[in-house]
Structure 1
Amino acid sequence: MANTTKSFISDGATSKEDQASLLTTLVKYTIVPSIPLVAIAIVSANLNLWVGNDTHHFYFELFAVVFAAIVAIYGLLRAYQTKDRFSLLIGLAYLTSAVIDALHASLSYNAANETLFLGYFIPQTWFAGRTFISSVMVIAILKYAVPPPVKTTLASSSSMPLADKEDVVLHEEKPDHYGYATNVVPSQQSSSVARRGGLLDKPLVSLSIIILTIVIATFLTVVSFFTVLPSIVINFPIHRPYELPPLILFSLALFFFYKKRVYRINDVFYKGILASLMLDVYSQIIMSYSANPFDTAHNVSHILKDASYFTNIISLALSSIQYNKIVKQNEQLIRASYERLKAADKIKDDFINIAAHELRTPLQPIISYSDLALNGVTDKEEALKVIDRQAKRLQKLSSDILDVSRIESGNLSYVIEKVRINEVIQEAANSQRLGLQDVEMQTRFATAPNMTIEADRGRIMQVLTNIISNAAKFTKQGFIRIETRSFAELNRLDIIISDTGPGIPAEILPNLFGKFVTKSTGTENYYGTGLGLFISKAIVSAHNGRISAHNGEAGGAVFEISLPITQDEKMKNRIAEL
């Protein structure tokens, strides 16, 4: 990767949020734990402070075997459930480590009286096991620990090396098996984008390195039975120089954990990996100055190794609980989505049935009266009136269906202008007056004759016509009253439309402004297709207004519309976008 000298902090923190996350993780999982671990390392320098024996060592390793086996089982089960390769690699690594620790414990215990043998066998098998587990950690983090993407763009990262820019731009966000966002490379571009692992991106290379590591660890374990490696223990402050390679590998794993921003993965398991790496690093530091089997540094290092394994057990257990909660939440979301789809499907079917019926209703008299007029059976003028009336009904239904489609797609257009609201109300009332017989159409304006509001004239007319026509349809006697009130200090105009009809049925009222809400009264649909009020609410809401309905105290329906007198610039822009 270009610019390898760049600080991993600056490379990983491309946003304030990421910087905060990095700082929090560093303090919580690295700096704070280092304080007691440094103190333990200093105390462990006194090699005679705690001198154990072969029995203590056996139990240390026995715990290690049990803990490693548990981690292996957890990791492999997790990998099976989530198809997570990182967990698979960790599971296999700890399974191999458990085998090495078991050989280490059993053979050293059986050779308890052979001081010379133990002097080289214990350090060599420890070195083999720790080298193996540290190597696998580096590979797992480099290759399979994929963090969520950092929100950044090429424009905001001009100083970023080209390789890093490609990594940011070409990775897309995709939920992993735990429901968290992770990076994936689009298939058409994956050949040209190298992840941060370099050669490790090639599966064959990764597999070869892992196999080679297992072979080397196994070879060193077997060789330790009869061969002494050169300078396995030396008379120097660092008595066991062979502990340095695994120490470097554990430190690299820790470095790449931050470098790749793995700390951003919202999973307890990865926090456990981070904590275990800290314990492993100090375990290796302390073991490097162990001069003899069972001295203080030797014993403390074994305890830290056991603590590292146990930390992974706890994190895997908590992660499993976390995973099960997420699975249940996802199942609930899926069930809820399924129910919504079923409801939507039912609404669609209902709409098709209603629309088919409503379309067929005006078509039938149009066809019938056309035939009668052509055959001279009925008066042509009367036939034309019926055809005209039904054609207009068909036109309105078609317009409503188109408006609903535009509303749901966000494409219903509005033209904001200064509208004389009294004129619009009077025009809407007059359009319905002709069909009334024993019903009086009343208009009561408490607003100035020339008062204007900023609105779409045609759409406001559509809302008023929808509501007044419903009132006219079901009010057989009495009145339909339209009143206005203005509140200049509140920038609000209220329009109240009331009637003396049967009112709105209680079962309809809660969902009155939904789509396809209808109610049959005798042979008539209460609100036709149920689209008019849905459209009306959408139009009023787009004007930053409110519409509501209730039944009056003396009976009849009451609709209240509140509209702003003037639209602010933000609202004008929003309406313009619609």
Structure 2
Amino acid sequence: MITIRKKLIATFLVISLFVGIMVVAVYNAGRNVADSFHELNDKSVSRINALHQMKIDSLVIYSRAVESTVEDNQKEIPEYIQDIRKAKDDFAGAYDTYSQALTNGDSVGPDRFIMDNWNAFALNSDMLTVLVQGATTDKNEIREMREKLEQSQKRFESVVNENLNSELAHNQVLTTRVDDMERSLFALILAVLASSVMFATGLGSLVSYRISKPLMQLKSSVMELANGNYEARIMKVSNDEFGDLAANFEKMKDELREKDKMQNEFIMVASHELRTPIQPILGFAELALKGKIATPHALQKILDEARRLKRLADDILDVSQIEGGKMICKMEDIYINDVIEGVIQSLSPLVPPGVSITADLSPVDGFLKGDTERLRQAFSNILDNAIKFTQAGNITVSCSKLKDSDKLEIRVSNEGNGIPTEILPRLFGKFVAKDIDGRNKHGTGLGLFITKAIIEGHDGEIRADNNDRGTTFTIILPALTQESKGLAAQ
């Protein structure tokens, strides 16, 4: 069964999973943006730094080269040969480093021009070295050489500046793109949050509807039931606690309908039973007043019907207490054989000719906790029914202790036709005994119902079974144990 708790947990997990997927997607997108930005920024910064350094180093080399040509005295030139050679070598090494940095940065554009013009710049440097080593060049040649060197320097510086400006512009473009990506990422986060809220709201509304729908049906049925309508039914719409609640409610409603029906029947039967003795009382009283019947005879009939009316009133009161859970049993230590013998003696005058009562009450440890008057009432009802439904034969009453048990078994058996099979399962209901062969027309029909309640009030049980010769009522009651007797004696 899929319970409501499981449904709520599943809903929470689905929402959490959806939100988690969205968060991971946003995180990955943001991380990709950051990685791309850092990668491009690192390349751009390395290229810009390389270009700046190339510009600085080229100026240093150029200054050294110019310094070596400004002296008019060629004899002093050889003193700068080592510096010129060192400057050339440094410049060559720097170029390799810068070229590598630019290549790793996937550079295209003006920096390619630097690489293409390096040979011309290096040639000018080599020519300067030859002039110095030869020490035969005149001032005009030196001046011409210096002019060429200046032109190369200016061209190189122009290209470096162009590359530098290009990289700065490219870096600005990257910054703008990153800003755009950040705004897009923020919009994505808002969209994810909105989607999550809408998804959670939709799923929550669906689950809420599935939960509230049976509740509203139950509320409607309860209102109908309160108005006395037992026909409105709840359809079992789900296989969870609400489905079980709906099924139990329908079961309760059926039980209430049955109890209401039984109550109405009880009122009708009780009203009829109450009127039954009243009519003879009124009739005999009128006849006695008119002198049409002997007064003693009329008074005896009136007394008999009044007693019957009292029994019925007492039984109705007992039924009311039983169904209201207010029947009180005054428990005390009693000897069950004494109770049974007292009942037999009181009912002996009612035993018709041809019927006998045999009591097998051999000495037995038959002490128990019970209400003497209530147990007397219960056994009187059972024995009275046995007498009424025995036309001829013997009624046997026995009491014994069950083997290996602290319980007493009392059996009342009669000889007769037995109880009809269709009545036996509901024998201990209200007014059922009056339906047996019509022989209990002067009874209230409530005796066995009250008897069952009294026995169960003593933690006992009662049943009726047909046998080959008649019917046997079996009563099981808990006996006092030795420990209970010791505590009672103290």
Distance 1:569-1:414 versus aligned 2 partners, 3 A rule? farther
Using the alignment, how far apart are the partners of 1:443 and 1:383 within structure 2?
A: 37
- 1:312 corresponds in structure 2 to 201
Of residues 557, 564, 577, the one that matches 2:478 is 564
- 1:348 corresponds in structure 2 to 263
- 2:31 corresponds in structure 1 to 46
Using the alignment, how far apart are the partners of 1:38 and 1:569 within structure 2?
A: 73
Using the alignment, how far apart are the partners of 1:555 and 1:303 within structure 2?
A: 86
- 1:415 corresponds in structure 2 to 330
Unaligned runs of 5+ in 2: 37-178, 222-232, 235-245, 485-490
- 2:315 corresponds in structure 1 to 400
Using the alignment, how far apart are the partners of 1:480 and 1:290 within structure 2?
A: 107
Output aligned runs, 1:147-546, within 5 Å: 292-295=182-185, 297-327=186-216, 331-332=233-234, 339-373=254-288, 377-436=292-351, 437-448=353-364, 451-487=366-402, 489-520=404-435, 524-525=439-440, 528-546=443-461
Per-residue deviation, residues 89-135 of structure 1 (Å, max 9, x unmatched): xxxxxxxxxxxxxxxxxxxxxxxxxxxxxxxxxxxxxxxxxxxxxxx
Amino acid at match of 2:322: I
Distance 1:303-1:439 versus aligned 2 partners, 3 A rule? same
Contact 2:15 2:199 in 1 (8 A): no
Using the alignment, how far apart are the partners of 1:427 and 1:389 within structure 2?
A: 23
Amino acid at match of 2:445: G
Using the alignment, how far apart are the partners of 2:197 and 2:214 within structure 1?
A: 26
Contact 1:403 1:412 in 2 (8 A): yes
Distance 1:562-1:523 versus aligned 2 partners, 3 A rule? closer
Distance 1:561-1:486 versus aligned 2 partners, 3 A rule? same
Contact 2:19 2:196 in 1 (8 A): no
Amino acid at match of 1:418: D
* Shift of residue 415, structure 1, vs aligned partner: 0.7
Query: What is the SS of the residue equivalent to 1:322?
Result: helix
Using the alignment, how far apart are the partners of 2:360 and 2:457 within structure 1?
A: 26
Distance 1:290-1:380 versus aligned 2 partners, 3 A rule? farther
Q: What's the Cα RMSD here?
A: 3.9
TM-score, length-scaled by structure 2: 0.54
Using the alignment, how far apart are the partners of 1:391 and 1:566 within structure 2?
A: 40
Greater fraction of residues in helix: 2
Query: What is the SS of the residue equivalent to 1:562?
Result: strand
Using the alignment, how far apart are the partners of 1:447 and 1:39 within structure 2?
A: 88
Distance 1:379-1:320 versus aligned 2 partners, 3 A rule? same
Per-residue deviation, residues 294-319 of structure 1 (Å, max 9, x unmatched): 23x53254234313312322232233
Question: How many aligned residue pairs are there?
Answer: 308
Per-residue deviation, residues 203-258 of structure 1 (Å, max 9, x unmatched): xxxxxxxxxxxxxxxxxxxxxxxxxxxxxxxxxxxxxxxxxxxxxxxxxxxxxxxx
Using the alignment, how far apart are the partners of 2:361 and 2:458 within structure 1?
A: 21
- 1:124 corresponds in structure 2 to none
Contact 2:366 2:401 in 1 (8 A): no
Unaligned runs of 5+ in 1: 1-19, 52-288, 571-578
Look at both structures and tell me which one has the larger radius of gyration over its CA atoms: 2
Query: What is the SS of the residue equivalent to 2:33?
Result: coil
Amino acid at match of 1:469: D
Per-residue deviation, residues 487-530 of structure 1 (Å, max 9, x unmatched): 37532111111212332222222222223335435654479443
